[in-house]
Amino acid sequence: MAVGVLALQGSFNEHLAALRRIGVKGVEIRKAEQLDNITSLIIPGGESTTMAKLAELHNLFPALREFVRMGKPVWGTCAGLIFLADKAVGQKIGGQELVGGLDCTVHRNFFGSQIQSFEAELPVPELAAKEGGPPSFRGVFIRAPAILEVGLGVEVLASVSIKEESAEPESKVIVAVKQGNILATAFHPELTIDSRWHSYFMKMSPSNNEITAASSSSSNYYEDPESYLYNKQPKTDLPIYE
């Protein structure tokens, strides 16, 4: 049994490469029947409206909703976050179909257009506690959504500070959450060399325990807290591919 990556459009190849870096087999998912052969699923970033149209064309929505309902781990990044939200605002005319399951409201283009994409250091105490490494994560936001509201059962894993043009103090907006079997990030961990989010996701499924145990000893980039992998290499403009 492998980890599936929805491969309709977007950064699915980058997620597959990130899984390989931690010793996990990932497979491309394009048909509903393929969901029967995977333990967990990643819905990547991309153009959410296009992904929704392709998913509808291939009649994937019923199968995706059933996959979430069964309690199998699902992780949505950027456009994948929009897919998993129960409610999305800021959509194009006519909106788009959602998979749902995550009790939150997402703003589709909260941070603006493509040219307003950015990177930010995000405090990630839960990730650091579970996976080790530095207390922050370098988030890559590309025409990114944001989470406006969450339900009582949703755990907030990361927020980013925003500064309004008014003279008000900085406020924060939620960019990573977990609810039961669902993980969602508004940014793109697959575009960095820091694989902790992928390792964290793998451990959400008991059936993946053997895989994560085998890969953790050989792929832990943060065993020495004074010599993180990304500090051993020159800074490189993202994205970074395998």
Known active-site residue 104: no
Enumerate the β-bridge partners of residue 173. 160
Kindly state the greatest CA–CA separation across the chain: 53
Ramachandran angles phi, psi of 46, nearest 5°: 165, -150
Q: How many CA atoms lie within 13 A of 132 on its CB side?
A: 15
Sign, CA dihedral 65-69-72-77, equals positive
Known active-site residue 190: yes
| Secondary-structure breakdown of the chain: helix, strand, coil percentages, each rounded to the nearest 5 | 35, 30, 40
Q: How far apart are CA 166 and CA 185, in angstroms?
A: 28
| Encoded amino acid at 194, one letter | D
Known active-site residue 15: no
Q: Which of 78, 104, 131, 198 is catalytic?
A: 78
Residue 124 makes CB contacts below 8 A (sequence gap 6+) with 135, 136, 137, 157, 158, 176
**188, 77 contact by CB (below 8 A):** yes
Which residue numbers are catalytic? 78, 188, 190
